[in-house]
Amino acid sequence: MKVAVLGAGPSGMMAAHAVSQCGYYVDIFDKDPSSSRRNSGVYFLHADCDLMLDPVLIKQSVIGHHGKKIDEISKLYGLKVYGKEISKPSIVSVISKSTMTGFNSEHAITRLWDFYGKQVKEGEISNLGQVKGLFDTYDKIISTIPAWVLYPDQKFESVETWIKVGKAPENEAFMFYNINPYCDWYRCSAMFGVFTQEYGYGKHFEKKEGYEYKKVIKVIGDGITSEIKDLFLVGRYGAWNKKTLTHDVYYRTLEWLQ
């Protein structure tokens, strides 16, 4: 069976890894492979995705949660990140779990490109007509292309946020979430030598030397599916699902192929 993966970002390469694990032929299409290879926002993985990565224990905590009920915590977190309430935010589980296991995403991405980089083909897919045309060559297609590109007539709600990125000691591994409305940032972490501090919807900050600032589009949505047989939408932007993490792409693609 021949499979085409659309997009060579972290999600696309994870999908290609799943295809290869199933023993199928895979080609990966991307409009700018050299840009997509650069990691633009995945700082750690929650699972090793059969890449033989070394686990690291990450300490985590929520600032501002004492004396508050779960519903209030959920409301405050949604307001800080998205400017609105959201259903079942992931922060709720953090309160009862002081540590989590993480894996180095840079190592994962490097390994994936070592494995499948030669199968990445430069080519832009910008509409469903082009996707359908690929079925002349491929049996199945997996798309990580942002959903608004393939479905421009639909409404895809999102907000713009910012991440401050700097260096951290290699031996640090922590993640702080913050629901205190009087602090601008909502998440701060250090792991694998990278420091990040994330600012939610409508929050302002003063730029400082020594840090890089990246704009992030935060998805508001619980997922969409394709009406086309054998076309699988996956990834946070591809399936427009705010709960999808990079490691989920690998396991969901495996499940879809089986």
Give yes or no for a contact between 186 and 80, defined as CB atoms under 8 angstroms apart.
Answer: yes
pLDDT score of 146 more than 80: yes
- pLDDT, tens only, 80-90: 999 988 876 67
pLDDT score of 132 more than 90: yes
pLDDT score of 8 more than 70: yes
Q: How confident is residue 167, by pLDDT bands cut at 50, 70 and 90?
A: very high
The reported pLDDT for the residue numbered 91 is 82
Average pLDDT over residues 207-216: 93
Q: How confident is residue 35, by pLDDT bands cut at 50, 70 and 90?
A: confident
Task: Provide the percentage of residues in the chain whose pLDDT is more than 90.
Answer: 86
Q: Quick count: other Cβ atoms within 10 Å of Cβ 88?
A: 12
CA terminus-to-terminus distance, the chain: 12
Q: How confident is residue 44, by pLDDT bands cut at 50, 70 and 90?
A: very high
The reported pLDDT for the residue numbered 206 is 86
The reported pLDDT for the residue numbered 159 is 95
Between 57 and 96, the more confident residue is 57
* Closest-CA residue to 196 (of 18, 41, 45, 64): 41
Give yes or no for a contact between 230 and 141, defined as CB atoms under 8 angstroms apart.
Answer: yes
Handedness of CA 5, 223, 247, 183 (dihedral sign): positive
The reported pLDDT for the residue numbered 232 is 98
Query: Mean pLDDT of all residues in the chain?
Result: 94
Q: Quick count: other Cβ atoms within 10 Å of Cβ 96?
A: 6
Whole-model pTM: value is 0.94
Give yes or no for a contact between 3 and 95, defined as CB atoms under 8 angstroms apart.
Answer: no
Of 17-26, 85-94, 214-223, 237-246, where does mean pLDDT reach its minimum?
A: 85-94
The reported pLDDT for the residue numbered 40 is 66
- pLDDT, tens only, 233-247: 999 999 999 989 999
* Closest-CA residue to 239 (of 258, 255, 219): 219
Listing from the earlier edge strand, what are the strands of the sheet with 99-102? 99-102, 56-63, 173-178, 185-191, 194-199, 158-167, 212-219
